[in-house]
């Protein structure tokens, strides 16, 4: 079948060919310019439960461990870190108040904060208690993320009822 037998104009064909030429050229340029994965960042060391506990103990007060649960204080806020290496999960949390004591305005405010101002921490309900919570896969955490998680959880508690902010 000849090109002239297709039911479209020559202008459309030229536009399509020009587009394809541009895409091929851009792809070739990306291949030359783009760094490979090894150049982007050095390989990360997997976070372990023990290393996470060392990080927490290094900047928090009254650090204690019982099994998979660590208790500590940060800026006068009592927090708990629960971790499960087998499930590759960790949570840093602190209770705020009983759910039954929350007003409708507070419920709405925490939902909006989870979208706008809570950052990586979240407000969460469990078993009738409102918590400030940071959860993350354990193995991919780094030291700074642990510290930010603690800071944001503490801030969500401190700003509950006012700014509802993790930052």
Helix axes 49-59, 143-158, angle to 10 degrees: 60
pTM of the model: 0.74
What percentage of the chain has pLDDT greater than the value 90? 72
How far is it, in rounded angstroms, from Cα 77 to Cα 83? Answer: 19
| pLDDT tens for each residue of 52-84 | 999 999 999 999 999 999 999 999 999 999 999
Closest-CA residue to 79 (of 99, 64, 100, 101): 64
Give Cα separations from 32 to 24, 38, 42, 143 (angstroms).
Answer: 13, 15, 21, 34
What pLDDT was estimated at residue 45?
A: 82
What percentage of the chain has pLDDT greater than the value 70? 74
11-25, 95-109, 124-138: least confident range = 11-25
């Amino acid at each position: 079948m000849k090109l002239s037998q297709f039911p479209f104009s020559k202008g459309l064909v030229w536009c399509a060919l020009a587009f394809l030429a541009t895409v091929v050229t851009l792809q070739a340029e990306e291949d030359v310019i783009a760094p490979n994965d090894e150049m982007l960042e050095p390989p990360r060391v997997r976070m372990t439960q023990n290393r996470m506990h060392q990080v927490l103990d290094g900047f928090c007060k009254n650090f204690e461990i019982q099994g998979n649960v660590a208790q500590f204080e940060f800026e006068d806020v009592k927090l708990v870190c629960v971790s499960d290496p087998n499930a590759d999960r960790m949570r840093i949390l602190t209770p705020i108040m009983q759910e039954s004591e929350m007003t409708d305005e507070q419920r709405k405010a925490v939902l909006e904060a989870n979208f706008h101002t809570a950052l990586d921490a979240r407000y969460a309900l469990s078993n009738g208690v409102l918590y400030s919570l940071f959860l993350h896969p354990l193995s991919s955490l780094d030291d700074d993320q642990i510290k930010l998680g603690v800071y944001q959880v503490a801030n969500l508690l401190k700003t509950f009822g006012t700014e509802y902010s993790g930052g």
